[in-house]
Amino acid sequence: MLGFSCRHYIINLKNFYFIILDLKKAIVSVINDLVTDQRVNKTCNALLESGFEVLLVGRIKKDSMPLPNRNYRMHRMKLMFEKGPLFYAEFNLRLFLFLFFHKVDLLFSNDLDTLMPNFLISKLKSKPIIYDSHEYFTETPELVNRKFVQGIWKKIEAWIFPKLKDVITVNTSIANLFKKDYGVDVAVVRNIPPNRPMAENLAKPNIAVSQDKPIILLQGSGINIQRGAEELVEAMQFVEVAHLLIIGGGDVIDDLKKMTTALKLDEKITFLPKMPFEELSFYTKQASLGLTLDKDTNINYRFSLPNKLFDYIHAGVPVLASPLLEIKKIIDDYKVGETISNHLPGEIAKHITTIINNKEKLAEYKSNCKIAAKKLNWEFEKQNLINIIKKYA
């Protein structure tokens, strides 16, 4: 079944009839390198399910992994700059030109750093646009202490946001903030994984960890400042019951590795690079405890609902988290883990040790994860997104 947006033409060629399908074209824009973004992949598949031909556009970096095999087309722009003001200027110009010279029936913009070119093209070509804000962008820690840069992004958002008809975001708290800021109703589509079996064709992860020690895991493509990773590494000085596995990338990874060596923790902590989420899920399932320790230092983190939380739950891995509003609600409602009382390394270590040593409690949390995964499921959550897409099919 092709869905809702299929146009077709019938051609008679010497009494043979051919049906040519002309699918509506959706271009999805994101500023990353397309490999590890689970939310955007789910968006593209929802568009496919709704009958669109999909082209996902991003950029390639020096350390980018090869593109994985997906059911839709992908294009990565090679830019001269990889960070800073010149990068953002070049990316937005290149994206504008790409969108201008490609046929499109629906524009799908992910996050504020792709919104301006998409909005301008939607006006020039009179094409609809859907905007997905993955976070409260203007209050990220990378911007809150850079008032001039933050002010530019806020002006862009304030100019465009009230003019948008279809906006989605990742949780109710952020949706309410946007409603307060701009008077716009924002739909909520949480970043929940689909039900997927463990891939059988992948080799068993080779993790250099003592077989007698459980794995505690911190994963994510954005292991950045103020996300509790530094305190976690320090906490491992006091943890004897588990081995810490850190998988992913971010702006503090190099610092974490230096801290690990300086504190003589190399035998307690293993680092693995970011990887496609299909492979990452294989590692996640090996953990006994999943960690998400963002600090309440800015509005964006305060109301965050990271996809790693749901990844842990779907892998049957109990969670230890900071008590941020949206995260704590999930943990309390489904009883899938615990929250820390503060970010002191000693306290984090105490929580880790207590949970790992309580085998009965761990088994209870693990069982609750299985129950929660049946309810916190993309097959249900995606209907909110598909209902919006259908308006343009």
Q: What confidence category does residue 203 fall into, taking pLDDT thresholds of 50, 70 and 90?
A: very low
pLDDT the model gives residue 205: 53
pLDDT the model gives residue 282: 86
The domain spans of the chain are: 6-192+378-392, 215-375
pLDDT the model gives residue 15: 60
User: What is the rounded average pLDDT of the residues 343-354?
Assistant: 97
Is the pLDDT at 18 greater than 60, yes or no? no
Question: In the numeric block, which tokens belong to residue 80?
Answer: 């001269």
pLDDT the model gives residue 90: 97
Percent of the chain with pLDDT over 90: 78
pLDDT the model gives residue 21: 59
Question: In the numeric block, which tokens belong to residue 30?
Answer: 């994101």
* CATH of range 6-192+378-392; options 3.40.50.300, 3.40.50.2000, 2.60.40.680, 1.10.10.10: 3.40.50.2000
For residues 187 and 198, the model is more confident at: 187
111 Ramachandran zone, left/alpha/beta (phi>0; psi -120 to 50): left
pLDDT the model gives residue 1: 37
Q: CA 331 to CA 335: how far, in whole Å? A: 5
Is the pLDDT at 13 greater than 70, yes or no? no
Q: Residue 176: which residues within 8 A CB-CB, separation 6 or more? A: none
pLDDT tens-digit readout, 68-107: 899 999 999 999 999 899 999 999 999 999 999 999 999 9
As a whole number of angstroms, the longest Cα–Cα distance in the chain is: 81
Is the pLDDT at 64 greater than 50, yes or no? yes
Closest CA to 193 of 304, 301, 308, 289: 308
Q: CA 156 to CA 116: how far, in whole Å? A: 7
pLDDT tens-digit readout, 248-306: 988 899 999 999 999 999 999 999 998 888 888 889 999 999 999 999 988 988 999 99
Taking CB atoms within 8 Å and a gap of at least 24, the contacts of 273-277 are: 273/247, 273/248, 273/249, 274/35, 274/36, 274/65, 274/221, 274/247, 274/248, 274/249, 275/36, 275/65, 275/247, 276/35, 276/36, 276/65, 276/68, 277/36, 277/38, 277/41, 277/311
Cβ pair 183, 162 in contact under 8 A:
yes
pLDDT the model gives residue 211: 56
pLDDT the model gives residue 321: 97
391 Ramachandran zone, left/alpha/beta (phi>0; psi -120 to 50): alpha
CA 287 to chain centre: 20
Equal fold, 6-192+378-392 vs 215-375: yes
Is the pLDDT at 202 greater than 60, yes or no? no
pLDDT the model gives residue 138: 94
CA 108 to chain centre: 16
Is the pLDDT at 14 greater than 60, yes or no? no
Q: What is the CA angle 13-17-18, rounded to 5? A: 100
Percent of the chain with pLDDT over 70: 90
Q: CA 95 to CA 64: how far, in whole Å? A: 19
pLDDT the model gives residue 225: 86
For residues 278 and 169, the model is more confident at: 169
- Sort strands 319-321 and 337-339 into parallel, antiparallel or unpaired: parallel
- Mean pLDDT is highest, among 1-5, 61-65, 99-103, 217-221, for 99-103
CATH 3.40.50.2000 matches 215-375: yes
Q: CA 15 to CA 25: how far, in whole Å? A: 31
pLDDT the model gives residue 144: 86
pLDDT tens-digit readout, 222-244: 898 889 999 999 999 999 999 99
Question: In the numeric block, which tokens belong to residue 212?
Answer: 């007698």
